[in-house]
Chains A and B, each alone.
Chain A
């Protein structure tokens, strides 16, 4: 398959060998699971259980609320201890509504929805509904509800479902292991998704540093003429949706548009496996594969973890991470710092890294020497040096004009900067701040509209009163006239 080059990007030390040959092992069932009602982009789910309820594995705990939302299910059987606010697995460390499930060790299944016998004969709507009801979200880390993304075929003419097995983040090997160990499930899930999308072709893109995964998937995809496998060059951020689309099809996604606008929808390989489970067996999303790695972790592993397991239990299972300078959720490039070890593993947690001081490469920022490396390596064709200097002086509008909102926060610029300037941190700040100011502006506009409506109403009432008074006066004078005439 012909591949197209993508601009910029970096070649960090991948360090995947720590876990790439470690088969996925199951975590012993924790005593309690902490399930946030928001593990996805969009509106939080609303709880359908109460404290004291006994629940079984796969039972619905929280229903998706609104068009973009996802439900939450019980990963095992047990009793609901409480529904309360707990620290979210989010860098802010803000509280989020969490269901605490005390496990009973019986792992007793609830009644599951019946499998869809022939998904390729089923209407797209039925597949989407099953995916939505199973709580499946984008498992590469973006956690966007998959059912919404599977509905893109209704508005766009799609040609290709691109299954993302690039896994370009260093350290992480969860997708690699899933492709090796569950190749058939991944391919089947991908075919079901392509059917739901109405996309005639499936391309599974895997970076060439995962030869065993390519082999396993190629074998599994053999019987299906419309499924092909593409080995893509090892380059960070190859796994970014837009960049992968460009590498495979040569089509560049315009700014602020979706890849669907160029006929491509990208889904992660772990999502495909979850869709397979939901459609073929009726099982909702209850667990995920997490890579626990990093120089500080005693025994790095790939683990199948029930959602809601505290990170501390995962680390304990891997022998702990003594001397970890930094604990990260996700990969080292785009991952987020963990606010505490008590936060749970959620649907988007692809890795837990315990990094040593040498691995974090932390240094004091020095002045910019205008070397231009960040410009060369930016995979989005932006000018990080200029954006950062605007943002430093709080000139957010100017930064937006030169495209700070098109930054995908891949961190290539920060990685490459010889002066250790936290460039991507500036951009994350600017993107958040611009969004916050935008919210303020919309609120002000809404208030103005309400005030105007209020004033217009008062004016209408006053007008009606005046008219009524005039009518009453007219009627009165008419009466007097009539009286005079009678007299």
Chain B
């Protein structure tokens, strides 16, 4: 009886120690900051920042060796959120904000090849094989992946025109923005 209990206890302690050390030694280092930064990015893996996807950009941001202004679909709001999280000054002067855009399918050029649909991470394009495709403007976040892959250049990125509902007064002393 005593031998049973003792041997099990010894086994437990030894294996526990082995597992504990292994967890320490073989741990995959993750930076909690990376996860937080990734949560601020759109997550559509469009690659316009030059990295493979949002997590890679987040990793580079966490290391602090890349500008915070690279996320095109995120726009100015994302830049400001990143700046706040990283505690750096949002230097938007060098950043050329194209303004909000939306993808548009030119009906005369679309051949219904489905490639853009496969590319769209937000399911913002509808269509069927050999049928005209179209963009659901509300769901499009202008990552531009469909624009790049379209074989017939049927997709263009159109600027979203300012509307009265979205207009607001400029800051006193600053030039009007539209």
Query: Is B112 engaged at the interface, CB distance under 8 Å to the other chain?
Result: no
Query: Would you give the 0/1 interface string for A64-102, flagging 1 where the beta carbon is closer than 8 Å to chain B?
Result: 000000000000000000000000101110101000000
Decide if A447 touches B168 in the complex (CB within 8 Å). Answer: no
Q: Mark A413-455, 1 if CB is under 8 A from B, else 0.
A: 0000000001001101101110111011101101110111111
**CA A269 – CA B43 in complex, angstroms?**
52
Contact between chains at A450 and B168 (CB < 8 Å): no
Within 8 A of A (CB), among B70-125: 73-78, 80-81, 120-124
Instruction: Please classify the interface of chain A as helix (H, G, I), strand (E, B), loop, or mixed, using the class held by over half of its residues.
Output: helix
Q: Is B77 a contact partner of A447 (Cβ separation < 8 A)?
A: no
Q: Contacts A426-B172, A447-B122, A450-B122; is A94 near B162 (CB within 8 Å)?
A: yes
- Which residues of chain B from 1 to 55 have any CB-CB distance to chain A below 8 Å in the complex? 42-45
Q: Is the CB of B121 within 8 A of A451?
A: yes
- CB pair B43–A447 under 8 Å, yes or no, is yes
Interface residue SS majority, chain B: loop
Contact of A454 with B164 in the complex, beta carbons under 8 Å: no
Residues of A within 8 A of B172 (CB): 365, 422, 425-426, 429
Q: A365 CA to B73 CA in the complex, in Å?
A: 38
Contact A454-B78, Cβ < 8 Å, known A439-B166, A443-B141, A447-B42: no
A412 at the interface (CB under 8 A from B): no
Contact A429 B122 (CB under 8 A): no
On whether the beta carbons of A425 and B169 are closer than 8 Å, the reply is yes
Q: Which residue of A lies closest to B42 (CB)?
A: A447
B130 within 8 A of A: no
- Roughly how many angstroms separate A365 CA and B178 CA in the complex, as a whole number? 24
- Give the total of A residues in contact with B, Cβ under 8 Å: 35
Return chain B residues, CB-CB under 8 Å to A146. none
Instruction: Give Cα distance in the complex from A105 to B138, angstroms.
Output: 44
- B: number of interface residues (CB 8 Å): 30
Closest Cβ neighbor of A425 among chain B residues: B172
CB contact under 8 A between A447 and B162, given known A92-B167, A432-B167, A436-B168: no
The answer to whether B43 touches A452 (Cβ under 8 A) is yes
Complex Cα–Cα for A430 and B178 (A): 17
B139 within 8 A of A: yes
A437 CB contacts on chain B under 8 angstroms:
77, 80
Are A428 and B122 in touch, CB under 8 angstroms? no
In the complex, the answer to whether A451 meets B44 with C-beta atoms within 8 Å is yes
- A124 is an interface residue with CB less than 8 A from chain B: no
Are the C-beta atoms of A444 and B44 separated by less than 8 Å?
no
- Whether A440 and B168, one on each chain, are in contact in the complex, defined by CB atoms closer than 8 angstroms, is no
How many Å from the CB of B117 to the closest CB on chain A? 11
Q: Which residues of chain B are near A94, meaning CB under 8 Å?
A: 162-164, 167, 178
CB of B65 within 8 A of chain A? Answer: no
Partner of A429, one of B45, B141, B169: B169
Q: Which of A422, A425, A451 contacts B42 (CB 8 A)?
A: A451
Q: Do A92 and B123 have beta carbons less than 8 Å apart?
A: no
Task: Given the known inter-chain contacts A429-B169, A432-B168, please indicate yes or no for A450 contacting B123, CB distance below 8 A.
Answer: yes
How far is A18 from B122 in the complex, measured between Cα atoms in Å?
A: 60
Nearest first, the 5 closest Cβ-Cβ pairs linking A and B are: A432-B168, A440-B77, A450-B122, A92-B167, A447-B141
